[in-house]
Amino acid sequence: MTIRSNKQLDRLLLIGKIVAETLKLMQDAVQPGITTAELNRIGAKHLKQCGARPAPIVAYKFPAETCISLNDECAHGIPGKRVIRPGDLVNIDVSAELGGVYADCGGTVGVGVMSKANQRLMQQTRHALDAALHVARAGAPINAIGYAVEGVAKRGGYSIITALGGHGVGHKLHEEPRNIPNHFDRKERRPLREGTVLTIEPFFAMGHGEIYEAEDGWTLKMEDGQNACQYEHTIVVTRGKPIVVTAL
C-alpha cells in the first residue's frame, strides 16, 4: 500500500491504533497460570469491540485471532491450553483489518523474574527494531534495514532468523515488497519509496537461527530448541522519520 491521501493515512492510523491497543491489553494480561487461549480471547474481544477483523483468520484461515509463541517458538503459535509459566518468553503477534486496511504488530514479554540471558535477548531485539526504524527513509535501499538489524545481532552475539522478515502491508496482510530481510542482502537495492506501508520485524535467536514447522502445520520453532524473540511495527515511509502506525 502506498499512502496517497490524508484519508488513507487516517484509516491506516485507526487500524494501527486498534492492533497496538490489542497487543498492549494482551501483554498486560500475561502472568503465570494464564493459558494462551485465555490471552487470545482478550485480544479477540477487543478487536470485535472495535469492529476489526482478525487478519490471520481473514487472510489465511489461521485457527485463532492472534498468534502466541512461547520460548523456542518463533512465530505463528496457535493459542490453546498451554499454561504460561514463570521465566517464559511470550511473543504475541496481532494483525487486523478494518475498512479494507490492514496493520500488523508484535512484541515479546517476559514472565516473572527473567534470566539475564532472556532479558538481554529482548533488549537487543528491541534495539534492532529501533535501529531499523532510524534508517527506514525514502530513497534508502531496502537492505539498509537488514544492515541495521544485522549490525545489532552481530554485536550482541545473536543469530538472525533469516527465513522471516518484514513485508508490505495495507490493502492486504502481506503485499509488495513481499520480503524485507533482517540481514544484509547486497542484491536488495530496491529503494524505499515515500508513502510505502510496511512492517519491520527483527527476529533474534540465541542459537543458530534455523527453524522448522511443527506438526500442527502452523507453529514455527527453533531447530536447536533455543529461545527466540521478535518485535514488530507497521510504518509509513517518509523522507524523514517514519510514521510508526502501531505506536501507542
Give the pLDDT mean for 58-70: 98
Percent of the chain with pLDDT over 90: 99
The pLDDT value recorded for residue 199 is: 98
The pLDDT value recorded for residue 240 is: 96
Cα 30 to the center of its chain, rounded Å: 17
The pLDDT value recorded for residue 58 is: 97
Does CATH place domain 6-244 in 3.40.50.1370? no
Give the pLDDT mean for 168-183: 96
Domain assignments of the chain as residue spans, ordered by start: 6-244
The pLDDT value recorded for residue 124 is: 98
Distance CA 185, CA 167 (A): 15
Distance CA 29, CA 117 (A): 23
pTM (2 d.p.): 0.97
